[in-house]
Amino acid sequence: MKKVRRKIGKYEVGRTIGEGTFAKVKFARNSETGESVAIKVMAKTTILQHRMVEQIKREISIMKIVRHPNIVRLHEVLASQTKIYIILEFVMGGELYDKIVQLGKLSENESRHYFQQLIDAVDHCHRKGVYHRDLKPENLLLDAYGNLKVSDFGLSALTKQGADLLHTTCGTPNYVAPEVLSNRGYDGAAADVWSCGVILYVLMAGYLPFEEADLPTLYRRINAAEFVCPFWFSADTKSFIQKILDPNPKTRVKIEEIRKDPWFKKNYFPVKLGEDEQVNLDDVRAVFDDIEDQYVSERSEITEGGPLIMNAFEMIALSQGLNLSPLFDRHQDYVKRQTRFVSRKPAKVIISSIEAVAESMGLKVHSRNYKVRLEGVSANRVGQFAVVLEVVCFCFCCVHYFLRNARNTLF
């Protein structure tokens, strides 16, 4: 019997090549051109439930704006009644991170080659007013020819007229510039350059320049640019990296100065860009206007209030003394007597289940804003006891990010 392939528009859909909390990625082929693509599939209800409309809309729009040979290309966006399909360039070489893990470290020449392509891509983004803000080897892919492709613009920012500084603290702590941690505003271009410097160090050393088990120590080292280059770094390499990992963003080397540095210019062949393609965002508007129209009732219900949503930095703060280990090793968390667990169930389902069990046990239940207080009399009836529970939402990619960057326990 002949196997019938599923089609989405002109794309023949094949196997699942990746799966996350909010999306699946499918391999597909353009039936008109034969080109291989990756299709990111997201349910509209999921996007609404997690209030991701603006974030995804922004990420897609940015990827259409920053078209460059060293950036993963977004072809188009399609939608059905229930799903959104993001059609992306299929990059088959995997993450640069995996290559570093496999080889331990890369040679100076190979590291320089990847760094040159990274700077080309980042410079192109900055010229378009886009700042990535989460540059790291896990977000750098390799194609079949070994060319670097920048991906994952989920935390990127597109500057607005008259807005000079960015204020959102985001990114991966080991790669984040000192000024991003200061909460006083920062220049997105200078912050991206710092992250590029950390990446270059990792490529050549095989480990991070800034790595500590607790955040205060990590932040202190980042703020002081306290790092040591391994003995196999050449004098020129050390000097070059020190210019990039300058804790003062005003004196930190800029991309135009990086391009002029003799270390960078060795065997450098700048990418040739054609004329700027006209960017059409009509498909993006159509998809997201449609999602607003079709699901307005669900959206209004969701916006009535929800559990606290944490980013990676806020999640880390749950840990005693900002030591990251207790998040994964409860035996180290002696000070606060508390228990944490995770669930993929919606917050309302969790709260309802807790209330039902508590009431069956004869406990008094007080619920408000996804916080629950359970009260009752102890078993021997000599005193009252109370339990307080809170449902907190966080992205599961934070957990992946913790584990993926770990050497011992975390990051």
24 marked among binding-site residues:
no
409 vs 114: CA distance, rounded Å: 29
Contact status, residue 100 vs residue 202, Cβ threshold 8 Å = yes
Name which of 216, 218, 264, 219 is nearest 239 in CA terms: 264
Kindly state the tokens that stand for 324. 């990251």
Q: Which helix (H) or strand (E) holds 281?
A: none
Whole-Å CA distances, 121 to 9, 164, 181, 272: 30, 21, 25, 12
> Token digits for 193?
């350059």
The answer to whether 252 touches 244, Cβ cutoff 8 Å, is yes
Residue 195 in tokens: 């992250």
Compute the half-sphere exposure of residue 89: CA atoms within 13 Å on the CB side of its CA: 23
Q: For residue 244, give the nearest of 188, 199, 180 by alpha carbon.
A: 199
Catalytic positions, written as ranges: 134
Q: Which residues are annotated as a binding site?
A: 40
Q: Which residues are annotated as a binding site for ATP?
A: 40
